Amino acid sequence: MHRSSRNKDGVTLGAAALAALFSLVGCGGSDGGTAAIDVPKALTCDDSIKTSFKPDELTSVLLVRSFKKGDPLLSPNAFDPNPVALNDLCLVKLLVGPGNPGPADAPSTSPGIGIEVWLPAKNRWNGRFHATGNGGWAGSEESDVMRNGSSAVGNDYRFAAAIAGSEGSVTASADNGHQSGPGVQSNMNGSFAMNPDGTINTTLWKDFSERSLHELAIKTKALTAAYYGSAPKFSYWDGGSTGGRQALKLAQAYPEDFDGIISGFPAINWSRFSTAAIFPQVVMQRDLGGSRLTAGQLDLVSNAAINACDVVGGQHLGYVPDATACAYDPAKDAQVICHANGGSNSTPTCVTPVQANAINKMWYGQTTDGSVPSPALDNGLSTNLTGLQRWYGVTRGTSLLGLAGDQPSLIALHHVAVELQDSRLADPSFRNARGNGADGWKQLTYPQLSDAFDRGIALQASFADIDTDNPDLSAFKARGGKLLHYHGESDQVIMPFGSVNYYNRVASRMGGFSEIQDFYRFYLIPGMGHGPVNGTSNPAANPPLPAPGQIYDLITDWVEKGIVPDRINLSSQSSTPVSKSRPICPYPKKATYVQGDANIAASYNCI
């Protein structure tokens, strides 16, 4: 007997999934008894899933494979060259069409959205669905039957297979609708976003920005119900960077999909921060004649900023505890200015006044004309952007090697090429039939980069609202969802005050901080980079950071037990040069020193 029905999302569920979603119980008869229904046997981890799981006409099963504890996985990832299954697992790979037709060798051609689901052994499933997000442009191996995804991770860089094996949750990730080739570096390529004729690929932008996220949610829930005989009790989204942007997109556009959401160091304000991320490179082209600042020069000035702004209770912390309070100006610091230019520094890493001012520009952020005010008057971190400032820069003390290093951020550069619809602006890794990347960005002027900023905003409809900055989260609040959002103040890649800007806008839209903190909390973490790492220029900073699983435990406790996260104590990852702890406080509160050792959390209150 074949049954099917269409759920509220328009998805046609096969018999097994349908029966599971009806909780495997009969329908009540008029006599108060129970009339039996035809309940198919729950799915098993073999190729029978390929024919028995058919949630809709656009979805096919590409691979089903069973792994025993200790079996090697299909491919390595960025953090583990020889990954193995931590417990018995079933891997199911799905493909959701329709994709985007086109020439076989074009990056814009796609068969659809690849989804990879890891199912723990039935006696080990904890009842949770724990989805992981992506990095960069995504495009990893979810639809590759010879490999497993190598770049989809949680907010703490744990991989989906490891999460499923260790905690017993169903985990899933997606390639977001395009395939850029194997390996974590594939997520740096945005060639898929442009059609062969140079126009914007609106179909794959839609898949990348949001559709893939919703498809992952509904298809994984249907597969889970069919496999275990019951739907997940709780569903969580767990992502950082692009995964953090995806987290907020889900809260904004698909509020029913997840009960709890983690948005770590999110790539929201995508067009704005991507364009601004090229600004440091344009500064070196325009102000320094294309001569790059060396790693030694960048670190010298950044470490000087830390030394000027890291003192708390008479102690140097090694990282800047409050970026908004730091207005260090290298152009006025004789200790970093070259002796030949009137300073006292005679080392090869000294900087000229022009170079010092260029670094001030990188810290301030993109302006329409490349100008920068005196840091004493404006350090670039005001809540609301004013005047000529288009977007924020990285904070003082953050490593500048991420955006001002040997090459521009390729993720950001590819976006600038797409928003200006000129593939030649990108680096040579960008492929398009109209012309591959030719490093044309080196000729961009300040007004041209500002025009790219405006173009990115104007094209949001074509980019499926990739900026993900809608401040109306009322539907997510109404459904009882919980959202944890955090950002490192020393993020080397994504300007952290873009997150501050968004949280303030949500509060303004929804009635103030007190009206949103019952479902949405935001934290700034001093010294933390792009993820739970030291993001400063000081290798000995050893800032307190979230431990693996710490943020996830907070969101599950909030959702399942009603324990509201408030003050969160963090500890450093090493005891060298000294163990450190520190509280982070729900914004707009700050960790305020009271007394005692400034490297111990007990010395602070949240005020």
* Angle at CA of residue 105, ends 197 and 61, nearest 5°: 115
Whose tokens are 């900026």? That residue is 467
Distance CA 112, CA 486 (A): 32
pLDDT along the chain (607 residues), means of 10: 34 35 29 35 92 96 98 84 94 98 95 98 97 94 90 90 96 94 71 97 98 98 97 98 98 98 98 98 98 98 98 98 98 98 98 98 98 97 91 98 96 97 96 96 98 98 98 98 98 98 98 98 98 98 98 98 98 95 98 98 98
Distance CA 265, CA 493 (A): 10
Every domain of the chain and the residues it spans: 5-232, 474-606
Which residues, in sequence order, are bridge partners of residue 234? 128
482, amino acid identity: K
349-377: pLDDT as tens digits: 999 999 999 999 999 999 999 999 999 99
1-45: pLDDT as tens digits: 333 333 433 333 333 333 333 222 222 333 333 333 333 468 999
Distance of CA 281 to the CA centre of its chain: 23
* pLDDT at site 358: 98
* pLDDT at site 56: 96
Distance CA 463, CA 135 (A): 18
Q: Quick one: three-class SS letters along 157-177?
A: CCEHHHHHHHHCCEEEEECCC
* pLDDT at site 41: 62
Q: For the CA atoms of the chain, what is the radius of gyration?
A: 25
Q: Do the Cβ atoms of 44 and 228 come closer than 8 Å?
A: no
Length of the chain: 607
What are residue 401's phi and psi, to 5 degrees?
-70, -20
